Amino acid sequence: MPSFSPGQEAARRLLEGPQRYTCLAGGTRSGKTFLITRAILARALKAPGSRHAILRFHANAARASITLDTLPNVARLCFPKLKLRHARQDGFFELPNKSRIWIGGLDDKERVEKILGLEYVSIFLNEASQIPYASALVAFTRLAQKVEGLKQRAYVDLNPVAKSHWTNLLFGEKRDPVSMQKLKDPKNYARSFLNPVDNTENLAPEFLESLANLPERQRKRFYEGVYLDEIEAALWSYEIIEAARCDPADICEPARASVVVALDPSGAAGRDDLGADEIGLIVAARGMDGECYILADRSCREAPAVWGRRAVTAFHEFRADCIVAESNFGGEMVRATIQAADPGVPVRLVTASRGKAVRAEPISVRYAQRQVHHAGRFPKLEDQLCAFTAAGFNGPGSPDHADAAIWALTYLFELTDGTGIIEFYRRATGARK
């Protein structure tokens, strides 16, 4: 039986409290999912024939994280004599007492209809930062199985995102996320915070140090485990980016219809020129599915000859179609720099239309429509995107990473759609009215 730190023990006791809804929020690898999964297994053992559901937004993430990792590990460590039967085709684990724990993703229409066609005495929304409130509400309606000796319980865990996220409104401000009115039953919503420092026994010091050294916003979310302020009128949010994030394996080379390397040059003389902005260098792809993917962020602060070679290396590594750069600012210099590194690499110059925010808005719409996915995590790029507002860029310095990404995505979407960036934005916003 594993031992718990004081913070984990407090969270464990909270999970056994009288409230109907419980949220464990905080930094990564702090034991939140482990503790809730343990509580669900204990409940399943206590009540023969009971049903329990563990749901994530993406089905493949639920399988990789819960089915293949957390649930078997919790059973092995906390209930070593328990024998679980995995009904792989149906998507549940069955205990010897005929209780079942169903695991699925809310994005898998066929499977989720099957799962949500049943009633449960326990429902756990794992990584709720990715789950829209509308989906959470649907899941909570299935918290309806009547089991003698066991009260219905809903559990939620997440790495905190924006303060406006529904989990913070419900469990922090005790407001209804739709009406924004005060909850009529606030005692039914309880929350505890857990962070990596509460799990030092199981984490390497090097890992904790890497979390502590993350960029400010990522550090606050994944290390300190706090909800973040959102920039007013931001075009992007961490929630939107997170909800569409994918595994790099999902966009392997055969799944790519086209690939570009995009450059946003600066006047940097070299890596020691700390007063200059970085050179944005982003690799993006258009998938066979018609959606776009950020594959890599190779941005740097280097002299032209160095970033030119860096861009050419990325071009060959990802088998790109061309290198894209803005013609209005340094476009011909980019062409000359790239051709000096490799004369055979094609360079396409794109024309800037109006200001940065005008170029950013239609791409932010694509993100909101989940047509753009980050194949991995790109902290600086994501910070810069979330600092864009309809009035312009509100972050420090220049949005070099974001500008390169916007150029790449604009080129890829226009390549297929054949519509100008401003025209697309007009169509997209018009369609939403």
Angstrom distance (rounded) from CA 419 to CA 67: 43
Band (pLDDT 50/70/90 cuts) for residue 259 is very high
* pTM, 2 dp: 0.63
Question: Phi-psi category of 13—alpha, beta or left, where left has phi over 0 and alpha has psi -120 to 50?
Answer: alpha
6-224: CATH architecture: 3-Layer(aba) Sandwich (3.40)
Amino acid identity for residue 429 in this structure: T
pLDDT tens digits, one per residue of 267-318 = 665 676 656 688 999 999 999 999 999 999 999 988 899 999 999 999 999 9
Query: What is the reported pLDDT for 113?
Result: 84
Q: Are 230 and 260 in contact (CB under 8 A)?
A: no
Q: Are 346 and 321 in contact (CB under 8 A)?
A: yes
pLDDT tens digits, one per residue of 175-194 = 999 999 999 999 999 999 99
Convert 130-166 to b/e letters by CB count within 10 Å (16 or more is b): bbebebbeebbebbebebeebebbbbbbbbbbbeebb
Averaged pLDDT for residues 32-48? 98
Query: What is the reported pLDDT for 273?
Result: 63
> Taking the CB of residue 80, how many other CB atoms lie within 10 A of it?
8
Residue ranges covered by each domain of the chain:
6-224, 238-432
Same fold, 6-224 and 238-432: no
From residue 191, give the alpha-carbon distance in Å to each of 17, 23, 157, 180, 186.
Answer: 11, 5, 10, 19, 11
Angstrom distance (rounded) from CA 202 to CA 194: 14
Query: What is the reported pLDDT for 371?
Result: 93
CATH fold of 238-432 reads Nucleotidyltransferase; domain 5 (3.30.420)
pLDDT tens digits, one per residue of 143-167 = 999 999 999 999 999 999 888 899 9
Angstrom distance (rounded) from CA 314 to CA 318: 6
pLDDT tens digits, one per residue of 91-130 = 999 999 999 999 999 877 777 788 889 999 999 999 998 8
Strands annotated E in 71-150: 85-87, 92-94, 100-105, 122-125
Angstrom distance (rounded) from CA 414 to CA 424: 9
Q: What is the DSSP letter of 371?
A: -
